[in-house]
Structure 1
Amino acid sequence: MFNQKLIIGRNMLKRTAKLPLLDIDVLRTFVAIADTGNFTQAAKNLAKTPAAVSLQIKKLERILESRLLRRSARYTELTAEGEVLLQYSRKLLHLNNEAVGQFLSPALTGTLTLGVPDNVGTHILPPVLAQLAQTHPALHVDVLISTSRDLAAKLDIGQLDLALITTGFDASDASGEIIHHEQLVWAERAGGLAHTRSPLPLALANQGCAWRGSAINALEASQINYRIAYTSENCAGIEAALTADLAISPMPASSVKPPLSQLSDQTCLPELPQFAIRLLVGDSANPAVDLLADYIRGHFS
């Protein structure tokens, strides 16, 4: 009986030894695609070429003998097998980062306070906070969602460690480090008619928003009649008005996704300027603040 168990154990070890090992870097690429829903954006976040990302996924699917992703013209979604692998991938990446962090990363603890506008936070917070939780699980972040103007004021009086604000790209009086800039465009429900109405109905954030100021200045310079039909500090509120075809709104080009679409030049609407996302760091800088600032910069690199 003992010899039989020993033989079975040896056979199991042999079969296990023949299983391929998964590459952590490939799993990181797979998770990035799952999080962004886009090969191009995942490649940008990982500082890889789209071709390299595609090659890694093909290799991963070949090793596991399973189709993991289903690609369309606009979006990439996980297959059932991909959903299963995503759970394992997150666990493996977490364990890898935790193990490496024990040797290479300082033991950072405590709580940081980060302020972000709603129109920025919804896009960058999930990947940045997930990365921080993986590498430094004892470091916590309290997030305040507010207007750029309010966040800058709170950072000045020491109520925030870091803040992200949106400004005009050429704003000479704005402080902070520009970590991202992008073109603003007019957005509307795909196939909608809101842009044909007069006065032009707008859905905007409240006073102090750089996007609001850019839109109003552009319309007034072009002598186009408009009315502010909806105001909301929440992106979901503005997008709801657009989805219902009740208004148009200025948005970053990368944020315009179905059921919304970018209005073409044929609508005769004035071109909007670029905007900037600026990183502000308070006077109480420390290794934990510097780390979070680096992770935020890395998200846009």
Structure 2
Amino acid sequence: MTLPTLSSQSGALPLLDTDVLRTFVAIAESGSFTRAARQVFRTPSALSMQIKRLEETLGQPLFVREARQVRLTPEGEVLLGYGRRLLKLNEEAVTQFLAPSLEGTVRFGTPDDVGTRILPGVLAQFARSHPAVQVDVIMGRSADMLQRMDAGELDLVLVTAGNPGMEMEATRGDVVHTEPLVWACREGGVAPRRSPLPVALASHGCVWRSAALAALDRAGLPYRIAYTSEHCAGQEAAMLADLAVAPFPLSLVKPPLRKLEQDAGLPPLGDYQVVLIRREGIGSASEALAGHVTDAFRDLRR
């Protein structure tokens, strides 16, 4: 659905006010005029007037007002995407001219399965906002990333929470992503029907591996570890070849892979979390990159 063409007597399109867009996004994300009012430090009545003028400008209703909440109309959903992008561009433009120029190097560690999902967008946007900062990315196991950070070799690390022996370390940071872990296989493959069940796992110490083995043992299902890989690409290769099933994040299950449903008889695996941990005493450049990483995971959930 697209918004209608707008025009005024002079033939010029009206401009959307950034302050009003910020109000609109706050209401849409909170589902409440009252909660949004606290976020933008205005009264609910002031927000109502802003939204009324915005709806008049666009000639479309943006919210359906219900007893306990408000929800977006189809037109409002379209505007929300535009609004978020416009606010982000506005922030980048202001930062470019008014924010202190950041320089230096940020050393960032991440597991490959986590980093590859957000790094292209994060690095591109961070480079536009802070062109004088060099980012060194190191990929490896979560446990190794933590050890290197504690040794002073890394400034920021992403780790998967729940790894054996890492429960306390994970509490040092902020949970930036939670996602279901599911059993996956090749569409139309025969691997799920083999006995014992062939399983492709990550290397020792990975939360996916420990969750899968614990679930299979609790269920009493016969299985064999057919393939082990330090990177998720190895698990994916085994599934694509129809040689094994594997525990995989739901967002990474893309055709020709498919999620195995509960009727396949495999036990549920639950969720896993991604945690962002900062080394003590990191500088402004590292904090800025941490903000970009957090925003990227928030965008994944939308």
Same fold (TM over 0.5): yes
* Partners of 1:244 and 1:216 in 2: CA distance: 22
The equivalent of 2:277 in structure 1 is 280
RMSD: 3.2
CA drift of 1:154 comes to 0.5
CA drift of 1:22 comes to 10
Q: Helix, strand or coil for the counterpart of 2:131? A: coil
Q: Helix, strand or coil for the counterpart of 2:199? A: strand
Residues 1:173 and 2:168 aligned together: yes
Q: Helix, strand or coil for the counterpart of 1:278? A: strand
Deviations 1:228-268 (A, max 9, x none): 11111222222111111111111111221111110011011
- Percentage identity across aligned positions? 46
Asked whether the 8 Å contact 2:96–2:129 carries over to 1, the reply is no
CA drift of 1:143 comes to 0.4
The equivalent of 1:40 in structure 2 is none
The equivalent of 1:224 in structure 2 is 221
Of 127, 136, 144, 2:138 maps to: 144
Aligned amino acid, residue 247 of structure 2: P
Deviations 1:46-74 (A, max 9, x none): xx979468635999xxxxxxxxxxxxxxx
* Partners of 2:209 and 2:157 in 1: CA distance: 20
Residues 1:185 and 2:182 aligned together: yes
Asked whether the 8 Å contact 2:198–2:223 carries over to 1, the reply is yes
Of 112, 115, 118, 1:121 maps to: 115
* Partners of 2:252 and 2:159 in 1: CA distance: 17
Deviations 1:161-202 (A, max 9, x none): 000011229974343221111111001111211111111111
- Cα 1:279–1:195 change in 2 (3 A) is same
Q: Helix, strand or coil for the counterpart of 1:272? A: coil
CA drift of 1:93 comes to 11
Aligned amino acid, residue 173 of structure 1: M
Aligned amino acid, residue 210 of structure 1: V
State the TM-score, normalizing by the size of structure 1. Answer: 0.68
Segments of 5+ residues of structure 2 without an aligned counterpart are 1-10, 19-70
* Partners of 1:104 and 1:118 in 2: CA distance: 35
* Partners of 1:151 and 1:265 in 2: CA distance: 34
* Partners of 1:252 and 1:58 in 2: CA distance: 26
Asked whether the 8 Å contact 1:169–1:276 carries over to 2, the reply is no
Asked whether the 8 Å contact 2:199–2:244 carries over to 1, the reply is yes
Deviations 1:10-69 (A, max 9, x none): xxxxxxxx897999x9xxxxxxxxxxxxxxxxxxxxxx979468635999xxxxxxxxxx
Asked whether the 8 Å contact 2:163–2:206 carries over to 1, the reply is no
State the TM-score, normalizing by the size of structure 2. Answer: 0.68
Aligned amino acid, residue 238 of structure 1: Q
The equivalent of 1:209 in structure 2 is 206
Farther off after superposition, 253-262 or 101-110: 101-110
Asked whether the 8 Å contact 1:177–1:279 carries over to 2, the reply is yes
Matches within 5 A, 1:251-262: 251-262=248-259
CA drift of 1:204 comes to 1.1
Matches within 5 A, 1:1-301: 51=74, 55=78, 99-168=93-162, 172-175=167-170, 176-301=173-298
